[in-house]
Amino acid sequence: MHSALSAGKEEFLRLTTDKLGSSPIDFYPRMTSIAKTRETASRRLAAGVLLLLRYRMKKDHGNAGNGEFVFVLIKRSALVPQPGDLSCPGGILHRAIDPLLRPLISTGLLPVMRHRARDLALRKGGKTFRLMTLFLTNAVREAWEEIGLNPFLIRFLGALPSHTMAFYPRTIFPLVAYMANEQAFHPNSEVERIVEIPLLAFLDKNNYGRFTAATEEHAPPEDEDIIDFPCLVHREEDGREEILWGATFYVILNFLKTVIGFRPPDPFPERIVTKVLHPDYMNGRRKYR
């Protein structure tokens, strides 16, 4: 497991491309299922998200080549649902715009999907390839809007199976990409800030805990069973702690399982992390577009 990470940057990226390319994904059957809800009261939405990897030099070492992979996540602002949560850049599929933009990626006009990752995606069949490129277009467009991600500086590595969210009528379709060059991010009003979590942080069992939520009016009862969720506690250099839980947490664990065979500690540690949710948590402080 650790040997895969210590093999070198390009070696790990090749491993990631091969592992993702040889793993099954469910985009076509899942999207077919979602389409059947379109005219019903239980309508579900589809969203493409970008699990973005970056390779950065460790700040405590000056030696060339001493770097690490990090996941580039966004912390959601108070204007959108789930404010304060960490998530992948991305958003709801635009049924008019994204199909029109898809040929920019599917034909290679934008150099996002090329070479081996593209070849492996094509082997999954025409219907699946079309949906992969559609949701990749969706995720790249949303990442450009949210953080100013330059589509000429990212490289598609593969796709992960979809994830249906528990509290929203939404299914996310994760695409994995590598940011090949340094670039300045420009978060819009939907993003409070960028948070980078080292991949190695997920291999340390001491970083795991259990997350429980409370409203501003009600704290979790001490004498009753608490409903909690597995989470990762990330401590930043300035001492701030960020809690990763929910859909993005599971997407990253699925990535680590697929690529390096990692499984988190079971059972999860007994550390309980409580977060007070604002009354606007489900909808944000303005209507979500």
Q: Which long-range contacts (CB under 8 A, 24 or more apart) does 56-60 make?
A: 56/196, 59/237
* pTM, entire model: 0.90
Q: Are 133 and 43 in contact (CB under 8 A)?
A: no
Segments in the chain below pLDDT 50:
61, 223, 225, 287-289
Q: What's 2-60+67-201's CATH class?
A: alpha beta
In this predicted structure, what is the pLDDT of residue 216? 59
The domain ranges of the chain are 2-60+67-201
Convert the pLDDT of each residue in 199-210 to its tens digit.
999 999 999 999
Residue 20 and residue 119 in contact, taking contact as beta carbons nearer than 8 Å: no
According to the model, what pLDDT value does residue 165 have?
86
